[in-house]
A and B are shown apart, each in its own frame.
Chain A
Amino acid sequence: MKIVVCVKYVPDAQGERTFNASDNTTDRTGVDGLLSELDEYAVEEALKIVEASEGEVVVLTMGPEDAEQAIRKSLQMGAHSGVHILDDALHGSDAPATSLVLAKAIEKINADGQADLVITGMASTDGTMSVVPAMLAERLGLPQVTMASEVKLEDGSVTIRRDGDVSTETITAPVPALVSVTDQINEPRYPSFKGIMAAKKKPVQTWSLADLGVDAGEVGLDAAWTKVDSFAQRPPRQQGEIVTDEGDGGQKLVEFLVSRKFV
């Protein structure tokens, strides 16, 4: 069993996230970064699967120098090796470009042994587009079994539970397949002291676009298929009236609702 997990290094949601005024991209310098919390679920699920049988987990990230921290954290949790796609030309890449680079990287990883599963998070906590997994499936020609809140592997097929808007679905596909997991699926582990020590010796490869055979003109801000015209900070909501309940809080609430014609 070989599993590739795509993990993203993102600005901390608790920090003041903002944009670079010069080129309208997400500012990744002003705020501390970390392994996207939603990708911890992907790492955890991969670890559970290989622990139940045997195999290896390769974590893959595309991002700036610091993104190696996302790999490091995954290795501390128990992943076996990491691949970091690092290239100045990648700055400002959109989802199609990101999926192109990740797909090429996965193909290269497959060259020394086809991965049975590619696992991703449900969304990155900064962009939250939830599109890279479907794009990866499209580019790699893999069956797409996404938004899994439960994953089962047996006899060359993967079966997931997907909690949709109007129903819960059970979906089956042959492996190799692409799986994305929700935050309902498991409880990601914390790295143990042993895990932290062991991670120091685990191999991390750094590949450039040239290593993947991707032309720099296909990625980055200028090649993006969408353009941001402008961004604006939403004026903070003006705090309205706050009352303290002195036995009449419910009535005051209804008076407010009546004044706004909700009742």
Chain B
Amino acid sequence: MAEVLVLVDHVDGAVRKTTNELLTLARRLGEPSAVFIGDGYDAAADTLGRFGAQKVYKIAGADVEGYLVAPKAEVLAQLVERTQPAAVLIGSSAEGKEIAARLAIKTNSGLITDAVDVQPGEGGPQTTQSVFAGGFTVQAYVSKGTPIITVKPNSASPEEAPASPAVEDVDVTISDAAKSARIVETKPREKTGRPDLNEAAIVVSGGRGTSGDFSPVEAFADALGAAVGASRAAVDAGWYPHSNQVGQTGKQVSPQLYVAAGISGAIQHRAGMQTSKTIVAINKDSEAPIFELVDFGVVGDLFQVLPQATEKIIQTKG
């Protein structure tokens, strides 16, 4: 069976859940080979094996870290050339898509971004994408070169398939040109103790209707163990960080449950949450477009509804 390269997304060896999803999808297409770039492999080894990596290509060193995307694309291009994989799977983050973009040009290969499903097909992997703010689904495949596919978080539930991967230290040569954009400073985002927006099973978002007071949104989210999101109106007003923005120009989330509080449901917001499994809204205005999408809606004031609901959840959980 052909190899399927999976680019590992990690922070100092802490593997992000999207990688486990990619390894799970890769097993449908062939034998997953994890590509681990950077430091901290020891912390990652166990997870990669548990989710079925048959091989690990390990690339350490100062030549790939500290630069923006270009060296990573060169690493992958060299591995694609060598292994002739059935596909390359990369997480659909901004960085992942940029790496995929450069890899596609380097290897003369077709690229599909933001897949929400990948299945084996006759001529190679078949992908499903969700486009036009979730209004359409598109089935596509790569017709040239090595299929390069970026996959959205939460597109598959990670399934374990323990393996003991053969680990290979790979020597790569990185061009000077790829090292021209240097990262000179990195400020890690402050930890909130809440789940990551991309990975969370439940997301609770607040909008302009919060009038700047996110405390009822956060309390409700905490009662549910949820991540907190925000509309652009709330972000632009400075009430919540941009890293929590949901929508076209923020995060595109696809949780089991999405709760929109004080959000009207503009098309650009929908583009980031419309594929959520269950949608709930709380809004004062019964005409708000968000209600068109909901499985359950409350017409009411979020400052009344959310605290009552929070209390009730805490009671119920005992």
Measured CB to CB, the residues of A under 8 A from B are 13-14, 17-19, 24, 38, 94-96, 99, 122-123, 125-126, 128-135, 137-139, 141, 143-147, 149, 159, 162-174, 177, 182-184, 224-234, 236-237, 239-245, 247-254, 256-258, 260, 262-263
Contact = CB atoms under 8 A, between A and B. Distances in A.
A188 to B, nearest CB: 13
A234 to B, nearest CB: 6
B298 A163 contact: no
Given A19-B136, A134-B101, A166-B11, A143 B181 contact: yes
Contacts of A253: 280, 282, 296, 298, 305, 309
Contact of B184 (A171, A242, A248): A171
B78 to A, nearest CB: 15
Contacts of B111: 95-96, 131, 225-226
B183 interface: yes
A92 B316 CA distance: 55
A227 B186 CA distance: 39
B82 interface: no
Chain A contact residues: helix, strand, loop or mixed? mixed
Interface of B: 11, 68-70, 73, 93-95, 97-102, 104-106, 108-114, 126, 130-145, 177, 180-189, 198, 202, 224, 242-243, 248-249, 256-257, 267-268, 271, 274, 278-280, 282, 286, 291-301, 304-313, 316-317
Nearest to B245: A184
A248 B288 CA distance: 21
A135 B97 CA distance: 10
Given A131-B113, A167-B186, A172-B182, A245 B242 contact: no
B68 A237 contact: no
Contacts of A137: 70, 102
Nearest to A180: B98
A237 B268 contact: no
Contacts of B306: 250
B139 A230 contact: yes
Nearest to A24: B138
B136 A231 contact: yes
A165 B136 CA distance: 27
B224 A96 contact: no
Contact of B296 (A135, A231, A256): A256
Given A225-B104, A253-B282, A253-B309, A168 B11 contact: no
Contacts of B257: 257, 260, 262
User: Which 8 pairs across A and B sit closest by C-beta, in order of nearness?
Assistant: A250-B308, A245-B300, A225-B110, A250-B309, A131-B101, A143-B180, A134-B101, A240-B295
B268 A13 contact: yes
